[in-house]
């Protein structure tokens, strides 16, 4: 076949990105992953290395000073970082999640100001949708934003509590969804850029989590936070729509994170199975073990292919992205949970200890089935798309 037929093959540029990220991760991310997990500390080494290599927010377009990576390249970056350290992969993933609302719906002025700061490494971006009583049912949020026509110009005053916010306290910038018209439910929600330094913004204690312990998850408290009205992202009442459009794209990045975690566990299990001897031979010589490894490899590859197909749809903005984003996230995260659990099995008792990385990967994998919409919610999204007759477009 001719090389002008790129279907189902990564371009040389994408392959080069994978090699470059892997080199950074092997040298500066993987060596600290166990310590980051053990001490539930922020992955400072990874943050510095990703920033130095311009992999901290690769999706930011070149016109705003970013690396201008397409959706597939961004997925490859996140996948490779997650293969080494899932906590660290939330740096590029959440920078995309937090800033994409600005990129999708923000004014040119907001894009220039905030995407530029993100690209330049002046601060990360978090995404504030969830609340204590509004998780899967995000429309049920209570945070309020009220217009204040003061003598110093139009402002909004924000009050409320956002929960489970990844990288809260570390990020400088926050996309916050808040109710501007309680009568209109989803159409009464607006999105705003809030800065960490805005008076009235504060953070709760880090949650004590099962996995991704190096990624701080905190509540964000908004106490009479008065911000200029031009920090609204898009028109009033469009915030929920922007939030959902964002998730269509970023569920693909969670799928990438899941693929990376699963690949890391598979790689470790393959090496271990060839080293470990029982009954006078390597355990990889036993057919029962080979079948387990084969299923792991098959499922990781299927998840990767679906994720890359979804990334193509994200890049092109295809009409079936909503289905594919949900399908990739749901499938890849279920695969990551299964593959990491089986990697622990491959290592036997050793896999159950913190002396080996696979138990960390198994704990890290679990979150991919929960955030950016649980896998039950992804199935609701997929079923709605199917029943609405949205056809798959290759």
Residues that bind ligand FAD (CB under 6 A): 126-130, 135-136, 164-166, 209, 217, 367, 370-374, 376-377
Please count the CA atoms within 13 angstroms of the CA of 237 that sit on its side-chain side.
Answer: 7
For the question of residue 372 being annotated catalytic, the response is yes
Tell how far CA 26 is from the center of its chain. Answer: 21
In the chain, the DSSP E strands lie at: 125-128, 144-150, 153-166, 173-179, 189-195, 201-203, 217-228, 232-233, 277-278, 281-282
Q: Do residues 190 and 158 make contact, with C-beta atoms less than 8 angstroms apart?
A: no
When the beta carbons of 191 and 347 are compared against ligand FAD, the nearer one is 191
When the beta carbons of 99 and 284 are compared against ligand FAD, the nearer one is 99
When the beta carbons of 50 and 128 are compared against ligand FAD, the nearer one is 128
Shortest Å, Cβ 249 to ligand FAD: 15
Tell how far CA 95 is from the center of its chain. Answer: 8
Shortest Å, Cβ 217 to ligand FAD: 4
When the beta carbons of 32 and 371 are compared against ligand FAD, the nearer one is 371
Shortest Å, Cβ 5 to ligand FAD: 39
Residue 61, both tokens = 């377009």
When the beta carbons of 130 and 342 are compared against ligand FAD, the nearer one is 130
Render 42-67 in DSSP notation, one character per residue: --HHHHHHHHHTT-SSTTS-GGGTS-
Q: What's the CA gap between 171 and 166, in Å, rounded?
A: 9
Shortest Å, Cβ 369 to ligand FAD: 9
Shortest Å, Cβ 301 to ligand FAD: 27
Q: What's the CA gap between 84 and 33, in Å, rounded?
A: 7
Alpha-carbon torsion, ordered 298, 301, 306, 310, to 10 deg = 170
b vs e for 185-200, b when ≥16 Cβ sit within 10 Å of the residue's Cβ? eebbbbbbbbbbeeee
Residue 351, both tokens = 């896999």
Tell me which residue has tokens 């429309």: 139
When the beta carbons of 34 and 134 are compared against ligand FAD, the nearer one is 134
N-term to C-term CA, the chain: 19
When the beta carbons of 215 and 307 are compared against ligand FAD, the nearer one is 215
Shortest Å, Cβ 276 to ligand FAD: 33
Q: What's the CA gap between 247 and 213, in Å, rounded?
A: 23
Question: Which position among 45, 80, 219, 372 bears the catalytic label?
Answer: 372
Q: What's the CA gap between 299 and 134, in Å, rounded?
A: 33
Residue nearest to ligand FAD (CB): 135
Q: What's the CA gap between 78 and 100, in Å, rounded?
A: 16
Q: Do residues 386 and 333 make contact, with C-beta atoms less than 8 angstroms apart?
A: no
Q: Is 28 helix (H, G, I), strand (E, B) or coil?
A: helix
Shortest Å, Cβ 97 to ligand FAD: 7
Known catalytic residues are: 372
């Amino acid at each position: 076949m001719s090389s002008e037929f790129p279907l189902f093959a990564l371009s040389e540029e994408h392959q080069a990105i994978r090699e470059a990220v892997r080199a950074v991760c092997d040298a500066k991310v993987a060596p600290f992953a166990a310590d980051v997990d053990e001490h539930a500390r922020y992955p400072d080494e990874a943050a510095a290395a990703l920033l130095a290599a311009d992999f901290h927010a690769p999706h930011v377009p070149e016109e705003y000073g970013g690396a201008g990576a397409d959706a597939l390249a961004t997925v490859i970056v996140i996948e490779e970082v997650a293969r080494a350290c899932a906590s660290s992969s939330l740096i590029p993933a959440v920078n995309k999640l937090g800033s994409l609302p600005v990129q999708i719906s923000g004014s040119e002025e907001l894009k220039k100001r905030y995407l530029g700061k993100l690209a330049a490494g002046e601060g990360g971006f978090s995404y504030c949708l969830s609340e204590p009583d509004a998780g899967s049912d995000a429309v049920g949020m209570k945070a309020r934003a009220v217009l204040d026509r003061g003598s110093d110009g139009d402002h909004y005053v924000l009050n409320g509590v956002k929960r489970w916010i990844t990288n809260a306290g570390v990020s400088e910038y926050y996309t916050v969804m808040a109710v501007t018209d309680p009568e209109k439910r989803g159409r009464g929600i607006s999105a705003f850029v809030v800065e960490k330094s805005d008076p009235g913004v504060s953070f709760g204690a880090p949650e004590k989590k099962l996995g991704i312990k190096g990624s701080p998850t905190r509540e964000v408290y908004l106490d009479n936070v008065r911000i200029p009205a031009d920090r609204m992202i898009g028109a009033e009442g469009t915030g929920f729509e922007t939030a959902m459009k964002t998730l269509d794209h970023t569920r693909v990045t969670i799928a990438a994170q899941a693929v990376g975690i699963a690949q890391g566990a598979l790689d470790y299990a393959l090496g271990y199975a060839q080293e470990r001897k029982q009954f006078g031979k390597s355990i990889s010589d036993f057919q029962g073990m080979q079948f387990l490894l084969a299923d792991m490899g098959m499922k990781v590859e299927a998840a990767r292919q679906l994720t890359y197909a979804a990334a193509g749809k994200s890049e092109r903005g295809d009409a079936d992205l909503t289905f594919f984003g949900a399908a990739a996230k749901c499938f890849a995260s279920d695969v990551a949970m299964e593959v990491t659990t089986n990697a622990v099995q491959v290592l036997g008792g050793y896999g159950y200890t913190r002396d080996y990385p696979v138990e960390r990967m198994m704990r890290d994998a679990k979150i991919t089935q929960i955030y950016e919409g649980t896998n039950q919610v992804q199935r609701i999204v997929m079923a709605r798309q199917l029943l609405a007759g949205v056809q798959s477009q290759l």
